[in-house]
């Protein structure tokens, strides 16, 4: 007899319908899985056999063939266990075939028939939205996560036995509720109030957060670069529901979702400089999102920027430009979102003391030149804001009163972002000043005569390149927004010019 079960596979962060066809016929006992299964999927056979037996059902000693359609897409992971087991129970006449077609079914089985949490549930269930189904059956641990992106009832189940009982009508399950735990302001324990002095750096970071600009901090060890970077998420606006869902999907397919539900905090990722290209950008045999995608809608912090291998830094170019990464595999090309704010930090010279007035720098000009050249021009071009972070002054560090709180800075950032949101409402994929294209610059960054004179003089005196010119205009636009000013004034430009390199 033949039974068909609807399940789903994650392709990138999207779900793809997969039909599991199970045919049981007389003949020598065999059990084959076809339809481009990976090794893990083939191992399903043993789990399904034990799980069925240990749940009180028979494993038919017949000729069993399982087909996963479409056969053109490679099937990865263990989530096919449950649909295969259900199909087998139906095809061998132990449960009725008809009710199965009403559900999307996914889950990994352990040998005793219990269901285990799967990766990518949130992505997989979104494939069947709008279909005429009674609901989705998946492991209880994935239920609240799946309910976020599903408009069908989601039933979390604990074991194969429970699933088969539901399909036979002897148990009526309760649907899970999506946990849209209010998207709240950052509940981080970190706060900018702890950063003493460094007003210039703090202001620059506020501008960066307000316009979504990438930042490079250059300063001697101990000046507080890492401390400042870690606090950037505390001044960013909360994620929108769409942003939260997209980011949660990435963590879901990566198997890194720590909470059962929607991620509400912007991610902060700080990979070590020894990170491999694959870990940074994504890929591997089963394509995994990399750090650039795990930082989606949050901050990617590259500390000791000059220590990163050249190849690792170069692969950042695509996500910095397109806000996605493309991973090519033999069978398919996958894309993952990778829209992040890049925050990089480095010392001013190999010994680190160059800009420290209290310490002596022992580096030769050639060493310094070589050190600075480690960061390639194309990457520097994509970083709008460059700041020197001086050593903390003793008078600042000994101050008792706390600095301005993250909450206060954040309010200004949120207001500036609201202005940008309104401005770019019709511009499609542009949300912040940093994302402006040349046509937007012409439209939204017009200067008065004083402003254009200032910029002209700066170009001449400082030898600003065309790239730097555009970056300065974008940053000036953000500064004007923070000031609540419709037009870009000369003093906005003057501040923006300071952040060039
Ligand atoms: N501006 C500052 N205010 C308060 N503490 C600071 C400041 N700058 C540095 N520190 C202290 O020095 C330590 C080292 O700072 P860190 O951020 O690691 O410096 P860097 O990354 O520039 O080498 C921090 O953990 C913090 O305790
Ligand atoms: Mg540091």
Domains present along the chain, CATH in parentheses: 2-167 (3.30.230.10), 192-403 (3.40.50.300)
Strand runs labelled E in 71-198: 103-105, 108-109, 115-116, 135-139, 154-157
More confident site: 136 or 458? 136
Burial of 115 (0-12, 13-18, 19+ CB in 10 A): buried
What pLDDT digit, counting tens, does each position of 308-328 carry? Answer: 988 888 889 999 999 999 988
Query: Residue 72 — very low, low, confident or very high, per pLDDT cuts 50/70/90?
Result: confident
Give the separation between CA 214 and CA 395, rounded to whole angstroms.
30
Is the pLDDT assigned to residue 386 strictly greater than 80? yes
**pLDDT value of residue 460:** 85
Ligand 2 centre from 325 Cα, in Å? 28
Ligand 1 centre from 397 Cα, in Å? 10
Is the pLDDT assigned to residue 494 strictly greater than 80? yes
Kindly report the pTM of this predicted structure: 0.87
Tell whether ligand 1 has an atom less than 6 A from the beta carbon of residue 348.
no
Percent residues over pLDDT 90 in the chain: 60
What pLDDT digit, counting tens, does each position of 327-361 carry? Answer: 887 667 889 999 999 999 999 998 888 888 888 88
**pLDDT value of residue 425:** 86
| CA dihedral of 332, 337, 338, 340, whole degrees rounded to 10 | 180
Query: Residue 374 — very low, low, confident or very high, per pLDDT cuts 50/70/90?
Result: confident
What is the H or E stretch that residue 29 is in?
none
Ligand nearest to the CA of 396: 1
**pLDDT value of residue 387:** 94
Longest dimension (CA), the chain: 89
What's the half-sphere exposure (Cβ side, CA atoms, 13 Å) at 121?
Answer: 30
Give the separation between CA 492 and CA 291, rounded to whole angstroms.
34
Residue nearest to atom 10 of ligand 1 (CA): 224
Tell whether ligand 1 has an atom less than 6 A from the beta carbon of residue 219.
yes
Ligand 2 centre from 41 Cα, in Å? 44
Is the pLDDT assigned to residue 206 strictly greater than 70? yes
What pLDDT digit, counting tens, does each position of 154-177 carry? Answer: 999 999 999 999 999 999 999 988
**pLDDT value of residue 491:** 93
Residue nearest to atom 17 of ligand 1 (CA): 224
Mean pLDDT on 369-374: 87
**pLDDT value of residue 463:** 78
**pLDDT value of residue 304:** 92
Asked which of 90-94, 185-189, 312-316, 445-449 is least confident by mean pLDDT, the reply is 185-189
Is the pLDDT assigned to residue 182 strictly greater than 60? no
Mean pLDDT on 400-406: 84
Q: What angle do CA 170, 173, 176 make, to 5 degrees?
A: 170
Is the pLDDT assigned to residue 376 strictly greater than 90? no
Tell whether ligand 1 has an atom less than 6 A from the beta carbon of residue 392.
yes
Percent residues over pLDDT 70 in the chain: 97
Give the separation between CA 298 and CA 293, rounded to whole angstroms.
10
Ligand 1 centre from 210 Cα, in Å? 23
Residue nearest to atom 5 of ligand 1 (CA): 195
Ligand nearest to the CA of 352: 1
Tell whether ligand 1 has an atom less than 6 A from the beta carbon of residue 227.
yes
Q: Do residues 286 and 38 make contact, with C-beta atoms less than 8 angstroms apart?
A: yes
Tell whether ligand 1 has an atom less than 6 A from the beta carbon of residue 195.
yes
Mean pLDDT, the chain, as a whole number? 90
CB neighbours (10 Å) of residue 234? 24
Ligand nearest to the CA of 230: 1
Please state the atom number of ligand 1 nearest to the C-alpha of residue 223: 22
Nearest to 146 by CA among 116, 132, 175, 125: 125
Strand runs labelled E in 96-166: 103-105, 108-109, 115-116, 135-139, 154-157
Query: Residue 464 — very low, low, confident or very high, per pLDDT cuts 50/70/90?
Result: confident
φ/ψ of 167, rounded to 5, equals -70, -25
**pLDDT value of residue 169:** 92
Pick from 227, 394, 395, 402 the residue to mutate for probing ligand 1's pocket: most ligand atoms within 8 Å of its CB. 227
Give the separation between CA 384 and CA 74, rounded to whole angstroms.
41
Tell whether ligand 1 has an atom less than 6 A from the beta carbon of residue 298.
no
Give the separation between CA 306 and CA 92, rounded to whole angstroms.
62
Please state the atom number of ligand 1 nearest to the C-alpha of residue 230: 17
Is the pLDDT assigned to residue 406 strictly greater than 90? yes
User: CB under 8 Å to 288, separation ≥6 — which residues?
Assistant: 253, 254, 282
Q: Is the peptide bond before 70 cis (omega within 30 degrees of 0)?
A: yes
What pLDDT digit, counting tens, does each position of 239-278 carry? Answer: 988 899 999 999 998 988 877 778 888 999 999 999 998 9
Pairing of strands 215-218, 341-346: parallel
Tell whether ligand 1 has an atom less than 6 A from the beta carbon of residue 224.
yes
**pLDDT value of residue 179:** 66
Tell whether ligand 1 has an atom less than 6 A from the beta carbon of residue 226.
yes
Residue nearest to atom 25 of ligand 1 (CA): 227
**pLDDT value of residue 273:** 93
Query: Residue 186 — very low, low, confident or very high, per pLDDT cuts 50/70/90?
Result: low
Ligand 1 centre from 428 Cα, in Å? 40
């Amino acid at each position: 007899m033949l039974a068909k079960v609807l399940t789903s596979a994650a392709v990138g962060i999207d779900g793809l319908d997969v039909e599991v066809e199970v045919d049981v016929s007389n003949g020598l006992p065999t059990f084959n899985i076809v339809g481009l299964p990976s090794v893990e999927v083939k191992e399903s056979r043993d789990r399904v056999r034990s799980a069925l037996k240990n749940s009180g059902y028979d494993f038919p000693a017949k000729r069993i063939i399982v087909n996963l359609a479409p056969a053109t897409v490679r099937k990865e992971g263990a989530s096919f266990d449950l649909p295969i087991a259900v199909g087998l129970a139906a095809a061998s006449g132990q449960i009725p075939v008809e009710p199965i077609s009403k559900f999307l079914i996914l889950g990994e089985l352990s040998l005793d028939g219990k269901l285990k949490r799967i990766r990518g549930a949130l992505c997989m269930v979104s494939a069947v939205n709008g279909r005429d189904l009674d609901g989705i059956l998946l492991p209880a641990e994935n239920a609240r996560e799946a309910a976020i992106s599903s408009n069908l009832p989601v039933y979390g189940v604990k074991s194969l036995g429970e699933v088969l009982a539901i399909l036979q009508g002897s148990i009526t399950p309760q649907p899970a509720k999506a946990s849209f735990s209010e998207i709240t302001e950052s509940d981080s324990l970190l706060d900018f109030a702890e950063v003493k002095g460094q007003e210039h750096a703090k202001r620059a970071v506020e501008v960066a957060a307000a316009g979504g600009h990438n930042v490079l901090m250059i300063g001697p060890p101990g000046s507080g670069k890492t401390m400042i970077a870690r606090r950037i998420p505390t001044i960013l606006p909360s994620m929108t529901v769409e942003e939260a869902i997209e980011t949660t999907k990435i963590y879901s397919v990566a198997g890194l979702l720590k909470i059962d539900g929607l991620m509400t905090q912007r991610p902060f990722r700080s990979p070590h400089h020894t990170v491999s290209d694959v870990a940074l950008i994504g890929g591997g045999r089963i394509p995994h999102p990399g750090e650039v995608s795990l930082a989606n809608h949050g901050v990617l912090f590259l500390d000791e920027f000059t220590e990163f291998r050249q190849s690792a830094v170069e692969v950042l170019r695509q996500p910095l430009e397109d806000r996605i990464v493309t991973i090519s595999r033999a069978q398919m090309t996958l894309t993952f979102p990778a829209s992040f704010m890049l925050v990089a930090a480095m010392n001013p010279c190999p010994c680190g003391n160059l800009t420290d007035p209290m310490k002596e720098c022992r580096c030769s000009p050639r060493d310094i030149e070589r050190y600075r050249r480690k960061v390639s021009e194309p990457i520097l071009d994509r970083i709008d804001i460059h700041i020197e972070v001086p050593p903390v002054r003793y008078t600042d560090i000994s101050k008792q009163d706390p600095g301005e709180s993250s909450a206060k800075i954040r309010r200004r950032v949120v207001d500036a972002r609201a202005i940008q949101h309104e401005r770019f409402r019709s511009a499609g994929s542009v949300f912040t000043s940093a994302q402006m294209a040349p046509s937007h610059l012409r439209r939204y960054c017009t200067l008065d005569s004083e402003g254009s004179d200032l910029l002209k003089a700066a170009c001449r005196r400082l030898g600003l390149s065309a790239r730097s010119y555009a970056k300065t205009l974008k940053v000036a636009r953000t500064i004007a927004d923070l000031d609540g000013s419709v037009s870009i004034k000369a003093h906005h430009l003057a501040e923006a010019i300071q952040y060039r390199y």
